[in-house]
Amino acid sequence: MSNPLDTLAAPWRHEEDIRKSRFLAQAAPVDTPAAALAWLEAAGDPAATHNCWAYRVGDAYRFNDDGEPGGTAGRPILAAIDGQGCDRVAVLVTRWYGGIKLGAGGLARAYGGTAAECLRLAPRTPIVATGRLSVRCEFGELALVSARLRDMEAIVEQEDFTSDGVELVVSAPLDRLASISARLVDLTRGKARPRRLD
């Protein structure tokens, strides 16, 4: 894989006036295609001339021209997402028609350019590959284990209490899983037996 991808740290907006048409690009971080579609539905303006959009979440992507000539809006927006090195992002470009036709090339440049500039200006955060561990510890060790996991930027996703201890499911950056496992074994004097889940 080439450069690591980014997602947005927060939703962002960018507006441009192009030959009397107003273009408003809105971008937001999304975790799933369903979340992307829900956000796009909520962010669109029903009174606008067109609400064109695209999203990418890993290998899943979709785009929509919303009545503009085929290939002049949604595909350039998706190209802007990919060109800016983004993933887990949805972008909506809303157009209010100003009376001057832009032609197919002009539309593609307007939609793609507004989307790209929005993403270029938006605050970003790198997408960090994560993995998961299953860890068993005794009741008396839970507070210490939980505190150390937080110190190592690991997140406890699940706690299951059993008759003789606690089973934890922990997620953490992929490049830290081995050191977290070793630290937990040391901390519990070999009683914890972390194992990779994925």
- Report pLDDT digits (tens) over 83-133: 999 999 999 999 999 888 998 999 999 999 999 999 999 999 887 777 888
pTM of the complete model: 0.69
- Report pLDDT digits (tens) over 50-60: 999 999 998 89
Mean pLDDT of the chain: 90
Distance of CA 31 to the CA centre of its chain: 5
CB 57 within 8 A of CB 88: yes
Other beta carbons within 10 angstroms of residue 145's beta carbon come to 23
Q: Which residue has the higher pLDDT, 157 or 82?
A: 82
Task: Write down the domain spans for the chain.
Answer: 6-126, 130-196
Query: What superfamily in CATH does domain 6-126 come from?
Result: Impact, N-terminal domain (3.30.230.30)
Residues in the chain: 198
The CATH number assigned to the domain with range 130-196 reads 3.30.70.240
Range of lowest pLDDT (12-26, 86-100, 140-154): 140-154
- Report pLDDT digits (tens) over 163-196: 888 999 988 887 888 888 889 888 888 888 888 8
Given a cut of 60, whether residue 3 has pLDDT beyond it is no
CA distance 57 to 147: 32
**Average of per-residue pLDDT across 21-41:** 95
**Average of per-residue pLDDT across 145-150:** 88
